[in-house]
Amino acid sequence: MNARLLALALALAGGAHAAVVLRSPEEALKAVADKLHSTVIDVSGRVSVPADGGTAMPERVTHGTGTLLGHGLAVTTLHAVALPSPAGKLIPLQDVQVVVAGGEPMAAQVIAGAPDLDLAILALPAEAAALEAPPLSTDTPAEGEPLVAMGVDDDAVVVVGVSLAAVNGDILTVGGKRTLDSRFWGGPLYDGRGRLVAIGLMSLGPQKAISARVIQRILDQRAGMGLMIGAVPAEQHAP
């Protein structure tokens, strides 16, 4: 694949994603993109602000990409669902909304995560429990492995072919001709088998992602200990 651009343009029509349009990709990755682009969700945090007449109205103050994990859960970046307190610590917002392919905005709740990695786990409403997601990869990713990265761009899903430039434990460096900018932070990276290999991280330098094994550990901790996310200094969130 040589990390070439796989595709752009997944227009939303009436809230439903259109079919993926790809330009000469490897067949395995084309099939993955066609099948899994609907696992990418739009995430936003809101606060109530005074409007004309003194009525408080919710206003979107944070925004980012998220990824469905199945079983009514999703993952995103903490900065997509939190604001800094006066003390400089990120505090998860109480009013979080997500938009899933083909659906209307729905409420979500920040329930767990890894603050030092700028990750948050979201619980979605009961009606989202049936939304499926591919399995998380438990293998150690290999340098040079081709992947499909996805993110949200206004009313579209962006799909790009990338490769792994370096693997440092659970922190992955992503290479390719296309920069994974803020649209891909919190978005999935899938391998040719359709497994979730990593989640894109906020990074102002080399493009970073966190292994799906970390997501699995967070889920296991939550299931066994009821781990709840805490507030952390905002400056700690750029790997």
Please, are residues 71 and 132 in contact by the beta-carbon 8 Å criterion? no
- Domain 7-38+134-216: CATH class, spelled out: mainly beta
Residue with tokens 């906020």: 202
| Both tokens assigned to 186 | 């919190």
* Percent of the chain at pLDDT exceeding 70: 77
Concatenating the DSSP letter of every residue in 47-94 gives: EEEE-GGG-EEEEEEEEEEEEEEETTEEEEEGGGSEEE-TTSEEEE-S
Please, are residues 148 and 190 in contact by the beta-carbon 8 Å criterion? yes
Which among 109, 102, 116, 138 is positioned nearest to 216, based on CA atoms? Answer: 138
pLDDT at 155: 72
φ, ψ of residue 129 to 5 degrees: the values are -65, -25
Q: Return the domain boundaries, the chain.
A: 7-38+134-216, 40-48+56-132+217-232
- Domain 40-48+56-132+217-232: CATH class, spelled out: mainly beta
Same fold: 7-38+134-216 with 40-48+56-132+217-232: yes
Distance of alpha carbon 65 from alpha carbon 182, whole angstroms: 9
Residue with tokens 């209307």: 104
Kindly state the helix (H) or strand (E) to which residue 160 belongs, with its residue range: strand 156-168
For range 145-151, the mean pLDDT: 91
pLDDT at 224: 63
Please, are residues 108 and 120 in contact by the beta-carbon 8 Å criterion? no
pLDDT bin (cut points 50, 70, 90) of residue 238 is very low
| Both tokens assigned to 45 | 């945090």
Distance of alpha carbon 57 from alpha carbon 51, whole angstroms: 6
Which pTM was predicted? Answer: 0.80
Buried b (16+ CB within 10 A) or exposed e, 132-144: ebbebbeeebeee
Please, are residues 193 and 167 in contact by the beta-carbon 8 Å criterion? no
CA 19 to chain CA centroid, nearest Å: 20
* Percent of the chain at pLDDT exceeding 90: 38
Better pLDDT: 187 or 54 = 187
pLDDT at 26: 60
pLDDT bin (cut points 50, 70, 90) of residue 80 is very high
